Amino acid sequence: MPRIFLPTADFKENQISITGEKAHYLASVLRCQNGEALTIIDGEGNCLETFLIKCDRKEVVAKIIKKSPCNFESHLDIILVQGMLKGDKMDMVIQKTTELGVKEIIPVITERSQIRETRKIGRWRKIAEEASRQSGRSIVPYVHEPVEFREFMSRVDADRCTDSGTIKSEEVEGFLLWEEEGLSFNEAKERMSAFSCPPFAVSPGHLLIGPEGGFTKEEVDLAKGNKFLVLSLGRRTLRAETAAISAVTLMQFLFGDMG
């Protein structure tokens, strides 16, 4: 059964009007016909079971049969903070980590970033939406505008303060992956078991992956000062896109819903 994400829909008398790119996609790509069933995900955890009563490239109209909650999300709220990558590498990271269940993606500009500006945010958001649809997710992860690494750390530092202006002593913001040194994922899991407030337990946590060339020592030290644990994927040096996909997979296996 075809399914689409439609977080903002035009409802009228229990019908949904679909226009623009999504109407063209349904009519021309999927070749949907009147009377066919269509599942619409509203982006807020609901599935709408519908059937089509009008289907052309300019407008598709769906009649709602049933609305029910649907939640196919991992309980692990991963915010992927990815150093900007060249070419189609960033496309791959967004596609595959979306399939694996990340909740947000923040592109960051680091000292070794070879790409320092982009016009691809719209493209990346479409990739995330298509990957969510294909993998059967309930939401589309939000792809943020790029931010300088130090600016990102400043925001983390500000967000960590409580209402009284103090910082929880055991709070851990997340993990940074570094090829030069770091805990193994199993060691990190053991260490987290001693925390009263481990990352990802009650709020989203950040997973930091560097660009081609990785993070500098100064950036790693800055992350450590902002309560990030440094992790390693072993003695072999992986490409940045491989590291991102591998790290999210291991996070979901150790702490999420993949085993």
Q: What is the CATH number of the domain that holds 100?
A: 3.40.1280.10
How many angstroms separate the CA atoms of 78 and 32, rounded?
35
Q: Got the DSSP string for 173-195? A: -EEEE-SSS-B-HHHHHHHHTT-
CA dihedral 166, 172, 173, 178 (to 10 degrees): 140
Query: Computed from CA positions of residues 161, 162, 164, 168, in that sequence, does the dihedral angle turn out positive or negative?
Result: negative
Do residues 134 and 248 both lie within one domain?
A: yes
Q: Got the DSSP string for 50-64? A: EEEEEE-SSEEEEEE
Per-residue pLDDT tens digits for 135-190: 888 889 999 999 999 999 998 877 765 544 444 445 688 999 999 999 999 898 88
Q: pTM of the predicted model, to two decimals?
A: 0.82
pLDDT of residue 169: 42
How many angstroms separate the CA atoms of 169 and 103, rounded?
26
Categorize the per-residue pLDDT at 199 as very low, low, confident or very high, splitting at 50, 70 and 90: low
The two beta strands, 147-148 and 15-19, are: unpaired
pLDDT of residue 197: 61
Per-residue pLDDT tens digits for 72-113: 788 899 999 999 999 899 999 999 999 999 999 999 999 999
Question: 37, 69, 101: which is the final residue of a domain?
Answer: 69
For the chain, percent of residues with pLDDT exceeding 90: 49
How many angstroms separate the CA atoms of 137 and 156, rounded?
27
Do residues 47 and 92 both lie within one domain?
A: no
DSSP 8-state secondary structure symbol assigned to residue 237: P
Name every residue whose Cβ is closer than 8 Å to that of residue 111 and which is 6 or more positions away in sequence.
149, 215, 216, 218, 219
Mean pLDDT of the chain: 87
Do residues 92 and 210 both lie within one domain?
A: yes
Do residues 36 and 106 both lie within one domain?
A: no
Name every residue whose Cβ is closer than 8 Å to that of residue 22 and which is 6 or more positions away in sequence.
4, 6, 60
How many angstroms separate the CA atoms of 35 and 52, rounded?
5
Categorize the per-residue pLDDT at 45 as very low, low, confident or very high, splitting at 50, 70 and 90: confident
| 207 pLDDT more than 70 | yes
Do residues 115 and 46 both lie within one domain?
A: no
pLDDT of residue 148: 97
Bigger pLDDT: 102 vs 42 = 102
3 state DSSP class of 96 = helix
Domain region containing 175 = 78-255
pLDDT of residue 202: 61
